Structure 1
């Protein structure tokens, strides 16, 4: 019912302009009345501000051959251990210094006897972990009471690989005023809830004795890597309680394991959320500003999650340490978050063409000013309506299903449908060469959409690294993942009304579920099985 409601809203806003199916001879179906054939005249009569979009996309860094995709990451991780490193970080001040410096006071596994065995990239990431645990060390003072805070950060290597840092900041056991500590687990796996549970267990053991932490983390590290939907058990000894068994489970849908859309919508209006989304789609520079670490990390992860089935390929730092704020001057695309206390330093930097978002005040401190003109207007209107009416839609869905309808599911389905409307027909334009290689027909794909606004948007979007990574993953076809997007895309193609006298759609529907391929003209084209 939820999916049907979302599709209904998109149908009402979109109208009759949909994808043009190819005829039996591989020709495009005739354009709908009132539409151009989709040639370069699409670019005429467009606002000048829109032409800046392509220039900004093309001026970004050269395409990275190591494209990151969620599916590829998950497959590569299947033989990995659950985490790379666990550290406890505290603040220290030398007699000659006026400010505190974060330092690692406990580490597991312990530092290797031969550090040269680690890659230079790994060493560099290890050096900066304390800074990310305490991005604001100068603002801390001893306190007798402190509410614990959970947050996360992301470290990106030279090869594009990412390490996730899961942190818990709290006061150590003791009396009187004392400085906080941060427990941090560094993993290649993006799964916030799973590691939050481990951090709770670490906190319980460290309160008894720091010596109990190493045996417990060793048990966790030796546990098998859990596949999505699977549960693993970790056995450890706890004084006074004997042997304990802890179960760790990964959700079946890994996309939303560390995402909290509720926090994003508490901070930003729907209108501002859509403008941030549009800026990220064109791989611009975006900076979030907030008072606390938890808000920054939650909103950063939520913003990136709206891009599914595409993956952000550039610099992504949910919480940027004050000492590294010069990164904001980078000419390449980024999504970074900074604490409000660092805002004066940020405003002194010579940064242009950037969207600065104040999450606490729900306003833009700096913008390019064309953010509301990037997306196709009708599809943007549908997305806005769904997000504005999310409470009513969820309430109606709960009354029909007699159960809770999580906000994450509704928001995810809304953004997936947006992408289905724009690129859901990509599989119709995957050709097989004589060598058996898959090749994407770029221009035919773009021109096959009946909406001039969508074709205009694709003209820009298809130049991004996000789109290049999406297509490369499907051209290589090393992994055919039946994710939510592929399922919705197939449903979309099946719903296109038959306009060809040969009944081409009947052929597509009869062949696709059984073979995973379908013929168009003399070519064999791929369509993901439902």
Structure 2
């Protein structure tokens, strides 16, 4: 299926809205830009996500949501609740640039407070008309004697702490042991719901947990923040990852029977509750190596240097698990590349690996991964992302010859690293 990110979007953002709420009334759109935006179906959905439930409103809060278009491509909504949570600034874009758009919203808030609607309109127009920059290119927006600076993120890099707001929030909310439990549950495609009374913590952690699955992508229901009027979505019997604001927890009692086998993650108390034993199902040496890579001193040391130790730890765990998939790729002269499941199961030496890999064959997230890699190879494209690089290093260290020689006739084309949830199913 490939990535759900729209390639080469024409603009930095699609539209901006200000949504207001007062006196217990339904939220309403009080400002929008540009006036010419025509997709009213999307516009009318925004207030439900901007105010998913009653919140405490004691401080400014940044959070996000996701809405797909009819083809499954993602629109990302970035929100800023003002203190008191009576106003929400929201910007919608095809670009998953969390840090950049939160800065844009903070800038909009400052200009709004200055009482300069003409200057604000000019600023929004400047951002709207600005070319989409290449990765790592600095951007400066000047309007009404105000300047905003940010740098376009590089999707080929692993998320880092403290640079990546989602991963940083996840690191602060859950300890390494609980991150491992969530990771193992996602690899079993469980029903997982997370709770927090902070919207930024809730949505950031859900995006971060999915990002740590790279190069796999979650293929089921993905709702970073669930509007309260559809709380019954938690009763779905299909796999999901859903974020629920803590003020809705009392309503979960209505769904208690439906949630018995779901994995519950309380981000405010660093607690993971599950009736499953998913972590122990992973091969013991994968778990052992992951624990070693996630030691507190190693993570803290990384924050002063590269900052990617946390994301690299989970990437290496997946390299140990599925990095041998190329051993199972077969190609006869003049024929397309195919995948041999038995060879994949035996691409790792021990029985515990064989059992686990056999189970992975039925997972949609693994099927999508294999399908995407094979389609790229058969199209003459060799993916050379950081996962492939780490898989080659692992193979070399364990005495295996390089797998690239299997497909010498194929062109090499680096593919950017995408760290995003691929599918949102919202009833």
- CA spacing shift, 1:254–1:81, aligned 2, 3 Å: farther
2:340 matches 1:441: yes
Higher alpha-carbon Rg: 1
The CA RMSD over aligned residues, in Å, is: 2.8
Q: Is the 8 A contact 2:221 2:239 kept in 1?
A: yes
Shift of 1:472: 1.5
- CA spacing shift, 1:318–1:369, aligned 2, 3 Å: same
Q: Is the 8 A contact 1:490 1:529 kept in 2?
A: no
Cα deviation 1:327-372 (Å, max 9, x = unaligned): 111122111111111111122114142111112222245x233233
Normalised to the residue count of structure 1, the TM-score between the two structures is: 0.70
Q: Is the 8 A contact 1:68 1:160 kept in 2?
A: no
In structure 2, the residue matched to 1:57 is none
- CA spacing shift, 1:168–1:451, aligned 2, 3 Å: same
Which of 372, 384, 390 aligns to 1:482? It is 384
Shift of 1:526: 10
2:64 matches 1:163: no
Shift of 1:224: 1.3
2:2 matches 1:77: no
Provide the secondary structure at the position in 1 that maps to 2:219: coil
Q: Greater shift after overlay, 329-338 or 179-188? A: 179-188
- CA spacing shift, 1:448–1:162, aligned 2, 3 Å: same
Q: Is the 8 A contact 1:90 1:103 kept in 2?
A: yes
Which of 175, 184, 203 aligns to 2:90? It is 184
Q: Distance in 1 between matches of 2:196 and 2:414?
A: 43
In structure 1, the residue matched to 2:49 is 132
2:143 matches 1:226: no
In structure 2, the residue matched to 1:424 is 323
- CA spacing shift, 1:126–1:284, aligned 2, 3 Å: farther
Cα deviation 1:96-130 (Å, max 9, x = unaligned): xxx23111111112155xx5xx4xxxx54332211
Cα deviation 1:235-282 (Å, max 9, x = unaligned): 43x1xx3xx554431233455275533432333232222111111112
Q: After the TM superposition, which parts of structure 1 deviate over 4 Å for at least 4 consecutive aligned residues? A: 433-436, 523-530
Normalised to the residue count of structure 2, the TM-score between the two structures is: 0.86
2:199 matches 1:282: no
Q: Is the 8 A contact 1:428 1:526 kept in 2?
A: no
Provide the secondary structure at the position in 1 that maps to 2:141: strand
Structure 2 gaps, min length 5: 416-427
Q: Is the 8 A contact 1:228 1:254 kept in 2?
A: no
Q: Distance in 2 between matches of 1:453 and 1:197?
A: 47
Q: Distance in 2 between matches of 1:488 and 1:109?
A: 44
Match runs of 1:216-365 below 5 Å = 216-236=123-143, 238=144, 241=145, 246-252=148-154, 253=156, 255-256=158-159, 258-349=164-255, 350-352=257-259, 353-365=261-273
Q: Distance in 1 between matches of 2:413 and 2:127?
A: 37
Number of aligned residue pairs: give it: 405
Q: Distance in 2 between matches of 1:225 and 1:528?
A: 22
